[in-house]
Copies of this chain bind each other. A is one copy, B any other.
Amino acid sequence: MSTRAAAEERTAVLIEALPYIQRFRGAVVVVKLGGNAMVDPALSATFAEDIVLMRSVGLRPVVVHGGGPQISELMERLGMVPEFRDGHRVTDAETVDIARMVLVGKVNREIVGALNLHGPLAVGVSGEDAGLITATARNPALGFVGDVETVNPALLLRLLAEDLIPVVSTIGADESGQTYNINADAVASSLAVALDAEKVIYLTDVEGLLADVDDPDSLISSIGAAALQSMVDAGVLTGGMIPKIAACLRAVQRGVGSAHLLDGRLPHVVLLELFSDSGIGTMITASGGRS
C-alpha cells in the first residue's frame, strides 16, 4: 500500500474513533490486570500502549494489578510451599512480606516501566501509601488475607489531576500497621466506586462469561446486574469467576457505569472494548444492554 493510501486509511480510522473519544473524555477507567498478564512481553507492550493511548485521548486510566503466580514463584525459589484454602493463599507473616515485595517491588515496577517507555507518565502506588486502602482480616484461618475496609482516593485524584497514570498494588494496612494482601478484583471494584469511574475492566484469561461453561459459543455479550445475580444464585458460576463477578456487581450497583470481563490474551483488547460497540467480552451494567 502506498504511503498516501496508508495515511488516508489511518485518517479514516481516526475519524471513526472520534465519537468514542468524545463519549469518554475525562472519564476514569480502572483496569485490573492479572498476574499472568505481565508474563508475555508482547502482551505487556500492547497493554501499555492501550493505557497510554487512553490517556492521550482524554480518559483517565488507573491500573490495578495482582501477581499470584509471581508470588508463588518466589516462594518456591525460597523453598516455601504455597498453601491455598478456598482459593485464598494462606498468608503468614513471612508470606505477606514476600507478597508485598513481589507485588510492589516487581510486578508493579514492570507495569510502570512498560508505561514509562512512552514518557514519564506512570507512578507506582501501594494501598499503604497516604492511607489509600485500609484493610481488615478476612478470616483468621487465612492469616494476613485482607478485605478492603475504606478507600481514601485523595492521592489517586491528585495524581490524575497531574495527568499521571497510577499503578496500584493491592497491599493494605490496618490501624496497627499490619499489612494484608488483598484480592485485586475487589480492590479494582472499590477504587472504581471511590473514583466515580465510568468503567472497571477485568483482564482475564477467558473470553468472557459463558452461559454454559462447557460451550465456548455461549459467550454472554451483555448482562444486567439482576440477571447476573440470578445466575450467581442459581450456582451456575464456578471457581475464580465467582469473586470477579461479585466485584463487578458491587461496582455497577454503586454507580460505576459498566464492568467488563475481557480476554487479556487478545492484543489491545482494552482499546477494542473502548472503540467498538459490540462483541468484545462481557459487559455488566446496572440495567443490562449495551448502550
Contact = CB atoms under 8 A, between A and B. Distances in A.
Interface of A: 3-4, 6-18, 21-22, 25, 46, 49-50, 52-53, 56-58, 77-78, 97, 100-106, 108-109, 112-114, 116-126, 128-132, 152, 154-155, 158, 162, 164, 171, 173, 176-177, 179, 267-268, 271-272, 275-276, 278-280
B56 A3 contact: no
A230 to B, nearest CB: 28
Contact of A275 (B11, B173, B268): B11
B129 A124 contact: yes
Given A7-B280, A119-B22, A14 B271 contact: yes
Given A105-B105, A123-B125, A155-B162, 20 more contacts: A7-B279, A10-B16, A11-B268, A11-B272, A12-B268, A14-B17, A15-B268, A18-B49, A22-B56, A22-B118, A56-B58, A57-B57, A57-B58, A100-B106, A104-B109, A112-B126, A113-B173, A120-B131, A122-B130, A130-B164
Contacts of A4: 272, 276, 279-280
Count of identical protomers in the assembly: 6
Nearest to A12: B268
A17 to B, nearest CB: 6
A177 B113 contact: yes
A275 B177 contact: no
Contacts of A114: 177
Nearest to A123: B129
B177 A276 contact: no
B276 A49 contact: no
Nearest to A18: B53
Contacts of A49: 15, 18
Contacts of A131: 116, 119-120
A3 to B, nearest CB: 5
Given A10-B16, A105-B105, A276-B3, A126 B124 contact: yes
A22 B108 CA distance: 24
Contact of A18 (B17, B52, B267): B52
A100 B109 contact: yes
A108 B104 CA distance: 10
Given A14-B17, A52-B18, A57-B57, A179 B268 contact: no
A21 B272 contact: no
Given A17-B14, A112-B128, A177-B116, A123 B279 contact: no
